[in-house]
Amino acid sequence: GAGVSQSPRYKVAKRGQDVALRCDPISGHVSLFWYQQALGQGPEFLTYFQNEAQLDKSGLPSDRFFAERPEGSVSTLKIQRTQQEDSAVYLCASSLGYRVDQPQHFGDGTRLSIL
Amino acid sequence: SQQGEEDPQALSIQEGENATMNCSYKTSINNLQWYRQNSGRGLVHLILIRSNEREKHSGRLRVTLDTSKKSSSLLITASRAADTASYFCATDEHIEETSGSRLTFGEGTQLTVNP
């Protein structure tokens, strides 16, 4: 596709439910990043993939958060037993190269609301 | 954690005026990037300045970098109503626990350009 695509755009879930957020990066992009953005704040790093390898997951806030990119393209961020503090916009970004400090291309995010 | 801090938090100007936003950071960097985010959308990369550069131009954008003061500024000249957005600086922050680095965003400046 022309850009990074994320689905769904909006997700409402009840506290305790599991959710799965999908990211389709730009074709051929090696690096893929997940960020969490609270209202009025900048994006906060969650995790980073280089192809199918998850090289950095130190930003995941708890073991309820899990991300995968099994074939090195599409990625899924899963949140188990959701809590109200998980409400945020989840952004996915991809970049062509291997360095984390290269320009990143962002999707429009998934706005997650936990009731 | 957010390495960068933008100043001001909010800026309101008239169309045609110049807008200046500042960013300060804490650790040594390889480069500094500026991104723009329209409401409800993902971030868009604007410009990257390397640590050995002092100034860079791109269209109506001018970025400066002062590594001795650990600060950068983004100047938008002859602003337009369409420039209304949030602007974020981002730096590569070394992460001790992974011996890697990640892109760390500031909290952003909300720019409003009034027609």
- pLDDT recorded at residue B97: 67
Q: In this structure, what token pair is assigned to residue A85?
A: 């503090």
- pLDDT recorded at residue B3: 60
Find, in chain A, the residue whose alpha carbon is nearest to that of B41.
Answer: A108
A112 touches A86 (CB < 8 A)? yes
Q: What's the rounded Cα separation, in Å, for the pair B15 and B13?
A: 7
Residue A102 has pLDDT above 60, yes or no: yes
- Is B92's CB within 8 Å of A93's CB? no
Q: What's the rounded Cα separation, in Å, for the pair B3 and A38?
A: 16
> CA torsion, points B79, B81, B82, B88, in degrees to nearest 10?
60
Confidence band, pLDDT 50/70/90 cuts, at residue A97: confident
Q: By the CB < 8 Å criterion, does A59 face chain B? A: yes
Angle at A114 between CA B85 and CA A62, to 5 degrees: 90
What pLDDT digit, counting tens, does each position of A35-81 carry? 999 999 999 999 999 999 999 999 999 999 999 999 999 999 999 99
Find, in chain B, the residue whose alpha carbon is nearest to that of A100.
Answer: B102
User: Nearest C-alpha of chain B: how many angstroms from A20?
Assistant: 19
Residue carrying structure tokens 């981002």: B90
- pLDDT recorded at residue B1: 47
How deeply is B30 buried, as exposed, middle or buried, from its count of CB atoms within 10 A (0-12, 13-18, 19+)? middle
What pLDDT digit, counting tens, does each position of A82-94 carry? 999 999 999 999 9
Residue A100 has pLDDT above 80, yes or no: no
| Cβ neighbours of B33 (radius 10 Å) | 24
Average pLDDT per block of 10 residues along chain B, 115 residues long: 74 97 90 95 96 96 96 97 97 72 90 96
Q: What's the rounded Cα separation, in Å, for the pair A24 and A6?
A: 6
Q: What's the rounded Cα separation, in Å, for the pair A58 and A92?
A: 16
